[in-house]
């Protein structure tokens, strides 16, 4: 009798633990930061280079244009604060990524660290052969073997942004 009661108690505790563990996992999964934002045109602006690369390979795009800002200044405000129109000619060939601290509200995601910092570090580790400390625009191509490589780094002040 005692053994049976003890066994029921152990099973009940284990079930409660597993139930609590399952709901905790669901909460963690629900707090994954967004990888991109969908514009009113239906195009995507990515916050994650790896997500942009995966999508570019899947859709046979030729490259990715990255607006990179490793500083805490809001230098891409003209791009991030309004709904950009990206022509279909460009979006059919390139994915666009904005890497800038503060684009995603870190208070919504565990562990309350700016998710963009992770995305910026991930990008810089992927291309560790170059050192970027200032805001810039990075042109990356994807070859037929699905390998990505930086073709050119433009300074932020490049005039084609102002045209």
Within 10 A of 139 (CB to CB), how many other CB atoms are there? 14
User: Do 139 and 103 reside in the same domain of the chain?
Assistant: yes
Same domain as 51, residue 24: no
Total structural domains in the chain?
2
Residues 100 and 122 in one domain: yes
Supply the DSSP string of 70-135, one letter for each residue.
Answer: -SSS-TTHHHHSS-----HHHHTTEEEEEE-TTSS-GGGSTT-S-HHHHHHHHHHHHTTTS---S-
pLDDT of amino acid 110 = 60
| The model's pTM | 0.73
Note whether 117 and 154 are same-domain residues: yes
Domain range spanning residue 44? 36-161
The verdict on 42 and 91 lying in the same domain is: yes
Do residues 56 and 130 both lie within one domain? yes
pLDDT tens digits, 92-105 = 999 999 999 877 76
Cβ proximity of 51 and 128 under 8 Å? no
Query: What value does the mean pLDDT take over residues 41-66?
Result: 94
Q: Give residue-wise pLDDT tens across range 116-129.
A: 888 999 999 999 99
């Amino acid at each position: 009798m005692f053994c049976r009661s003890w066994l029921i108690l152990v099973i009940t505790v284990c079930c409660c633990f597993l139930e609590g563990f399952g709901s905790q996992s669901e909460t963690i999964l629900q707090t994954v930061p967004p990888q991109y934002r969908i514009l009113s045109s239906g195009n995507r602006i990515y916050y994650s280079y790896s997500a942009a690369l995966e999508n570019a390979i899947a859709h046979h795009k030729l490259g990715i244009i990255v607006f990179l800002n490793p500083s805490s200044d809001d230098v891409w405000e003209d791009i991030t604060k309004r709904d950009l129109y990206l022509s279909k000619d460009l979006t059919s060939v390139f994915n666009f990524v904005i890497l800038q601290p503060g684009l995603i509200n870190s208070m919504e995601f565990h562990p309350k660290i700016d998710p963009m910092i992770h995305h910026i570090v991930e990008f810089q580790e992927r291309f560790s052969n170059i050192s970027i400390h200032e805001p810039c625009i990075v042109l990356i191509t994807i070859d037929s073997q699905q390998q990505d490589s930086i073709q050119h780094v433009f300074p932020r002040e490049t005039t084609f942004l102002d045209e």
